[in-house]
Structure 1
């Protein structure tokens, strides 16, 4: 049985007013207008986001692939969020063979992933290889003390600074940055307001 932890969002085990749940759902709703074609959700977790995409963009998407490193989580996703357009797979986002295994996508999303991995450069390189020309990559990450620096979050390897986060996407033709506060997203940071989570919409 899939268990609820500080880092795992399982909507069916959470109250609908849970702040973390609402923030995670908001990211998928934010990404919805950009999503089309063949879609990849890296670190898809319990699978609810893939299901949201398949239902909300049923006319725009041809297939949704959800990938997560944890086999138990993928088994849960297959059981709870089965859909004709969705396939869930076990995979490592930093595996150099991932592009060959999964193929090309018009849209790739990955929320709250990069802080969990050592080799964020390989992760971004994999994404770039799998993204079709003109395709969209939407990603979020909490800000912190920087790459290689300790963090108070037990499940995080590190948390990038805002500058480090923005520097991940230099290979893309264009990038738009947003900043999440609760369930809202702001394009411009307001003076005196602390922003903890960044969101990037990247076009290849």
Structure 2
């Protein structure tokens, strides 16, 4: 069973999540090093947080979300000794994460388009990372799914989003806040090189 509420999904098992969602977390595994500390931004129902913790030799994965309902689901179906869930609106404050120090890897999938101040948010992600730490971030591709003419909505606009990004816009946003872009990918289901599919997917580094 996988329940869908708005843009959130509530599976009981990882393999019930949508294929494109699962593939982002499969992809993330290659960037997880032994004993690394990982932050999963907007973890939702927790399937990705749990997956990364169980399928890597990390020390811990912290899943953060502002939805109490989603985190209750995560704690019911996707809790283990290597993951922890925190209720926190990270767009407004990261105080809830100070006790954990800096992170080796931050995953931020399909989140930034939901936030009012994207520049401020990216700077927070930068500050949460260790020097040399990695950010994996994805967002809808404006050149494929235009924000004002979204083919998946009757009125042409996704009510949950504030914007979509072109390749250049997302590149500029990340680089202007200090990130070095290591590699750019694109995604429909599989994550491949390029920038011509519905989702942009960047691998970034804090120099």
In the alignment, which residue of structure 1 is the partner of 2:170? 165
What pairs up with 1:25-174 in 2 under 5 angstroms? Answer: 25-36=22-33, 37-57=36-56, 59=57, 61-98=58-95, 100=98, 102-144=100-142, 150=148, 152-170=157-175, 171-174=178-181
Where does the alignment leave 5 or more consecutive residues of structure 2 unmatched? 151-156
> Which of 145, 168, 178 lines up with 2:185 in the alignment?
178
**In 2: Cα distance, 1:116 partner to 1:71 partner:** 17
Contact 1:108 1:138 in 2 (8 A): yes
The alignment's C-alpha RMSD in Å is 2.3
How far the C-alpha of 1:102 sits from its partner, in A, is: 4.7
**TM score, norm. by length of structure 1:** 0.84
How far the C-alpha of 1:162 sits from its partner, in A, is: 2.2
How far the C-alpha of 1:169 sits from its partner, in A, is: 1.6
Where does the alignment leave 5 or more consecutive residues of structure 1 unmatched? none
How far the C-alpha of 1:10 sits from its partner, in A, is: 2.0
How far the C-alpha of 1:74 sits from its partner, in A, is: 0.9
C-alpha spacing 1:85/1:14, structure 2 compared with 1 (3 Å): closer
**TM score, norm. by length of structure 2:** 0.83
In the alignment, which residue of structure 2 is the partner of 1:7? 7
Aligned length: 190
